[in-house]
Structure 1
Amino acid sequence: MKEKELASAILDAIGGSDNVSAVNHCATRLRFNVKNPELIDEETIKNTNGVIGYIVSGGQYQVVIGPNVAVVYNEVDHLLDGKTQQTQTTEESPEDTENKSLLDRVLDTITGIFSPVLPAITGAAMIKVLLILLTMVGWLSTESQTYQILSFVGDTPFYFLPVLLAYNAAKKFGMNPMMGLTIALFMVHPTYNEMVAAGDPVNFMGLPVTLARYSSTVIPTILVIWAASYVEKFGERVLPNSIKFFTKPLLTLLVAVPLAFVILGPLGTIVGSALESVLSTVQTNIPWVLPFIFGALAPVFIMFGMHYAVTIPLTLTAIQANGFDMIGPGFLVANMAQAGAALAVARLAKDTNFKALANSSGITALFGITEPAMYGVNLKLKKPFMYALIAGGIGGLIAGIAGVKRIEFGPTGLTTLPIFIDPNNSSNFIFAIISALVSFVLAYAITYFMMKKDDELLAKI
């Protein structure tokens, strides 16, 4: 099915364009927020040619497309006549709120704030990896201006992460995005950073300012934008129309200053520091835990659409605090396990179409995109999915015991293995490869030999 036809079919099955309150996409799936879930025809979505899977999670109705999702999203956006952009900058309707639990709303909010930032931080991280490779082979000097320029380009999305998150947070909280950006920008303003560096007491209207740095942070800005959105909405309701144009932003900014520097900014810093401390303790004292847990359960997080809401904030916090994270190795081995299981199924499959699907999705999983293998092959047959979880857990345990670390943020697959290169520890990259290979081989072998004895399962392929 062509992308335009697929987009039209999905929109019809989701309840029509009038039922869509917002839609965005991640690496492989369309994520719909709808007004009335009862209008959704789930069976039609699942059976639509071009749809790999369908999940309801975090208050979103997620249609798994695969690597081609961006093209389908553009067609959906065109059919909605730009409605996707309009609805993302407004509050959810009462129907949206009533149809979601508190947990769903929290997960939807976190996902909506973090997922649009991924291309920027992933691209920047790969620039940092490229610099490591070029300097290791002697093709680029760390003293050169080329290196220095690429280095600050690679640092930019991480340093200004609060600004990137503020834009998305403002849209999720129904606030003017430019006001959200302004608040985040004054939180990382050079003059404020100079005050922090000087260390002398600072106050605002007699209130003590906590001298905390907000560049590269996650929680403080989101808290401030959330509170400031209510200030802006209050101004919209009570201020006279004749002066609202300039008094509403004035009120919002004046209230946002103490929120940022006296109340919520420092509170967010405390919460972030506590989270950093917990992650640091786990990664230092029981390093096998995170790779093992995510090696075994990363596909489950992905299956329920929670991998952005749960893992990305943790990963970014860990990398910012310690210079590495140990969740990435878990995702690496989990991806390799899904690939191994799918390719084992392909080896045994007799149906030509299913064999082609298993082969192509297995290869795609090797490069870090596992949804086609999961939904199209392993979950459909159930047992290969379980075998992959077992192999991923074992691979994760090996990675954890070896202390494998992801040095730069990025997707985990064969082409992005350099994100595990540690200039100070050459064995980190070697053990990352070993644990990934073990996970792949185990998943392939277990799936192949167990399925070879399973006549009932073989009859399905």
Structure 2
Amino acid sequence: MLILLVEECQKMKYQTSAQAIYEAVGTESNIISLIHCMTRLRFRLRDESIVDDEAVKQIPGVVGVNHQSGQYQVIIGNDVANYYDELAKLGNFTNDNDDSKVEESKEKDSLFNRFASFISSCMSPLIPALIGGGMIKVVLILLPMLGWLSEKGQTYAILTIFGDAPFYFLPIMLAYTAAQYFKVTPMLAVTVGAIMIHPNFAAMVTAGKSVTFMGLPVTLATYSSSVIPILMMVWLMKYIEKGIDKICPASLKSVLKPLLVLFISGTLALVVVGPIGTYAGNLLSTVILFIQGKASWLAMPLMAAFMPLIVMTGMHWAFAPIFLAASLAHPDTLILPAMLAANIAQGAACLAVMFKAKNKNTKQVAGAASISALLAGVTEPALYGITLKYKKPLYAAMISGAITGLYMGIVNLKSYVFAVPSLVSIPQFVNKADSANFINALIVLVASFILTFILTWIFGIDEEVEPATVAASTTSDLNNVDDQLDSGAQTTTKIYSPMAGELISLDSVNDPTFAQKMLGDGVAIIPQDGHIYAPFAGTVMTVFPTKHAIGLKSDTGVELLIHCGLDTVNLQGVPFTAYVKDNQHVAQGELLMDVDLKQIKAAGYDTTTPLVVTNSSEFVSVEPADKTVVTANDVAMYVI
């Protein structure tokens, strides 16, 4: 029951923030489409200018916003999928097929922004699969080194399949995401991708004998793990489908269109587009390796130093086709090594801020962001929550990146596996034929951490002064809260008692979930009657299915859980009569529910009713009123 309650409260937070984001970006009337990557909600909007960035940044869960490549990006962090799921329920915009809407938005973008948006939109949904495969490859490096797994065993062979699958079938996955971007029939695009990596065609490539198709020469190229050929092909399919739509009779379209699209696209893929894309990819790989070979000492310091700014623009995953095209044939010597130095630097900077800051909230944000950057390589929480906000830690991370980048350029550090660099994925730099490479990676990791930590500590942070709180007052000072409100000294929300009864502290409740304040701070009431009234003016966020609890949000942003009795979820709603529903706005004092207290007691349950501010971490303090007996006309606590 307690786990269910925690999950419901967390879900309530996701719903509230998702609703606020939805409204802030202009609702369905302004949203063309929505996707998400590892850390960001990526909106395509008709008009980004109507969105108030500062208002979006104030929404709980949002750590920043960014305008990039025709997308309005809301940076969330590792929990982005939960927010996306709730947003997807609010409107039919996640897979919009109206071409006119997309073109209307694209007309406002430059050619570069449109290209960058295309690459980012196609690659972003694939990143979890690529990271998963990359991390399995890291495990396959690590376990044999530790003697825990034999490279000759079947387990190793099957795990190799797990790690290779996302990369081998990359053209098929890209076909799907590119089809969504260009509004091509997804399954036809996926089929063309499958043609390019079909086992029989792969066997022809391996045999090496010349192949023709209807007299046309077929270039024998391996398309598994390729990026550019399928992206070019799906772009071309957009025009193929439009052309066939114009000439194909409506009565025969259901049969002729898929036949013609598949035949024409498959032919072009193997005869024209695929070879061109392959040559382009090989050229790109050659150029990258040439630059690295001639000026790695300069390229690496610049890339490592400016990687935080690249992340800020959201372009770090737009580089994915570049380092995938290079690293699948050769180790990556640019992007992933630079990310190693930058990710560790962001984590170290946040850790230094956590120890140096005096503001309790800053310490909490910095600590969480540090863990995310160091262990997972996800730096958006660090960047938007700490380093970019206070600037000096960002300068420290960039200086450290430049210095360690110079070292990486000199030793030519290589990443042999695609994985987001972090403490966990450091084995991606292991190679049996080049033992010095891993040692150099460890040197970069340690140097980046120590140097950034020291520089951040020396530079310091211009920390905002933590506001004075009523928590510093004595109990008798609480009687002066109204005076403080009148004078403007505090921003305080009064939470009136929802029912008549005895007011007690939350830590005296006979339930560790509430007593230890796992869900948030608050008070509790031992009720005298079964009438429950709205403790403030606000919105009903949720009436739990079993009616034993109600979630509310005040007009001032306080989220409150009223939990009627302890363990009463087991009563399946029998003693409860609710008079309100989800998303209903209520006035302070409005009747929300009636509870049969006698029935609860007869069933052997405690009627003590906790009042929990579930987003109490967003406020300075939650203070109980200086009373022992309250009615619905009395204040039960103050949220400051």
User: Normalization by structure 1: what TM-score?
Assistant: 0.93
SS in 2 for 1:48: coil
Equivalent position of 2:118 in the other structure = 109
Checking the alignment, whether the CA contact within 8 Å between 2:38 and 2:127 is kept in structure 1 is no
Once the 2 structures are TM-superposed, how far is the Cα of residue 36 of structure 1 from its aligned partner? 2.1
Amino acid at match of 1:264: V
Once the 2 structures are TM-superposed, how far is the Cα of residue 168 of structure 1 from its aligned partner? 0.9
Equivalent position of 1:296 in the other structure = 305
Equivalent position of 1:384 in the other structure = 393
Once the 2 structures are TM-superposed, how far is the Cα of residue 92 of structure 1 from its aligned partner? 4.7
Once the 2 structures are TM-superposed, how far is the Cα of residue 178 of structure 1 from its aligned partner? 0.4
**More divergent stretch after superposition (256-265 vs 220-229):** 256-265
Once the 2 structures are TM-superposed, how far is the Cα of residue 449 of structure 1 from its aligned partner? 1.2
**More divergent stretch after superposition (424-433 vs 438-447):** 424-433
Residues 305-344 of structure 1 aligned to structure 2 (within 5 Å): 305-309=314-318, 311-344=319-352
1:31 to 32, 42, 62: 42
Once the 2 structures are TM-superposed, how far is the Cα of residue 386 of structure 1 from its aligned partner? 1.6
**Distance 1:199-1:426 versus aligned 2 partners, 3 A rule:** closer
1:21 to 29, 32, 37: 32
Once the 2 structures are TM-superposed, how far is the Cα of residue 232 of structure 1 from its aligned partner? 1.0
- Does the alignment pair 1:67 with 2:75? no
Amino acid at match of 1:328: L
Query: What is the aligned-residue RMSD (CA, Å)?
Result: 2.0
Equivalent position of 2:246 in the other structure = 237
Q: Describe the superposition over 1:37-91 as per-residue Cα deviations: whole angstroms up to 9, x where unpaired.
A: 23322221122232110100011000111111111111111122x531x327967
CA distance, structure 1, for counterparts of residue 295 and residue 160 of structure 2: 32
Equivalent position of 1:276 in the other structure = 285
Name which structure has the greater RCO, CA cutoff 8 Å, separation 6+. Answer: 1
Residues 152-167 of structure 1 aligned to structure 2 (within 5 Å): 152-167=161-176
**Distance 1:237-1:326 versus aligned 2 partners, 3 A rule:** same
2:356 to 332, 337, 348: 348
Unaligned runs of at least 5 residues, structure 2: 1-11, 467-640
CA distance, structure 2, for counterparts of residue 450 and residue 324 of structure 1: 33
CA distance, structure 2, for counterparts of residue 197 and residue 340 of structure 1: 48
- Does the alignment pair 1:226 with 2:235? yes
CA distance, structure 2, for counterparts of residue 125 and residue 428 of structure 1: 18
Equivalent position of 1:146 in the other structure = 155
- Does the alignment pair 1:168 with 2:168? no
Q: Describe the superposition over 1:146-174 as per-residue Cα deviations: whole angstroms up to 9, x where unpaired.
A: 22121122212212211111111111111
Amino acid at match of 2:288: L
Q: Describe the superposition over 1:338-370 as per-residue Cα deviations: whole angstroms up to 9, x where unpaired.
A: 122222223332222122222222232212121
Checking the alignment, whether the CA contact within 8 Å between 2:349 and 2:452 is kept in structure 1 is yes
Once the 2 structures are TM-superposed, how far is the Cα of residue 430 of structure 1 from its aligned partner? 2.1
Residues 78-89 of structure 1 aligned to structure 2 (within 5 Å): 78-80=89-91, 83-84=93-94, 86-87=95-96
**Distance 1:129-1:89 versus aligned 2 partners, 3 A rule:** farther
Checking the alignment, whether the CA contact within 8 Å between 2:120 and 2:317 is kept in structure 1 is yes
**More divergent stretch after superposition (230-239 vs 92-101):** 92-101
Checking the alignment, whether the CA contact within 8 Å between 2:70 and 2:106 is kept in structure 1 is no
Aligned residues: 454
Query: Which structure features the higher share of strand residues?
Result: 2
**More divergent stretch after superposition (356-365 vs 273-282):** 356-365
CA distance, structure 2, for counterparts of residue 288 and residue 220 of structure 1: 32
SS in 1 for 2:41: strand
Equivalent position of 2:272 in the other structure = 263
Checking the alignment, whether the CA contact within 8 Å between 1:90 and 1:175 is kept in structure 2 is no
**Distance 1:266-1:92 versus aligned 2 partners, 3 A rule:** farther
Checking the alignment, whether the CA contact within 8 Å between 2:38 and 2:128 is kept in structure 1 is no
Q: Describe the superposition over 1:14-44 as per-residue Cα deviations: whole angstroms up to 9, x where unpaired.
A: 0112211111111111110012223322221
Checking the alignment, whether the CA contact within 8 Å between 2:350 and 2:370 is kept in structure 1 is yes
CA distance, structure 2, for counterparts of residue 210 and residue 89 of structure 1: 36
SS in 2 for 1:415: coil
- Does the alignment pair 1:212 with 2:198? no
User: Normalization by structure 2: what TM-score?
Assistant: 0.68
CA distance, structure 1, for counterparts of residue 21 and residue 414 of structure 2: 40
**Distance 1:302-1:89 versus aligned 2 partners, 3 A rule:** farther
Equivalent position of 1:439 in the other structure = 448
SS in 2 for 1:213: coil
**More divergent stretch after superposition (143-152 vs 264-273):** 143-152
Query: Which structure features the higher share of helix residues?
Result: 1
SS in 2 for 1:208: strand
CA distance, structure 1, for counterparts of residue 361 and residue 142 of structure 2: 40
SS in 2 for 1:83: coil
Once the 2 structures are TM-superposed, how far is the Cα of residue 312 of structure 1 from its aligned partner? 0.9
Amino acid at match of 1:338: Q
Quote the sequence identity (%).
Answer: 42
1:425 to 425, 429, 434: 434
CA distance, structure 2, for counterparts of residue 265 and residue 220 of structure 1: 5
Checking the alignment, whether the CA contact within 8 Å between 2:390 and 2:463 is kept in structure 1 is no
Equivalent position of 2:547 in the other structure = none
SS in 2 for 1:93: helix
Amino acid at match of 1:2: K
CA distance, structure 1, for counterparts of residue 156 and residue 97 of structure 2: 38
CA distance, structure 2, for counterparts of residue 158 and residue 189 of structure 1: 15
**More divergent stretch after superposition (367-376 vs 95-104):** 95-104
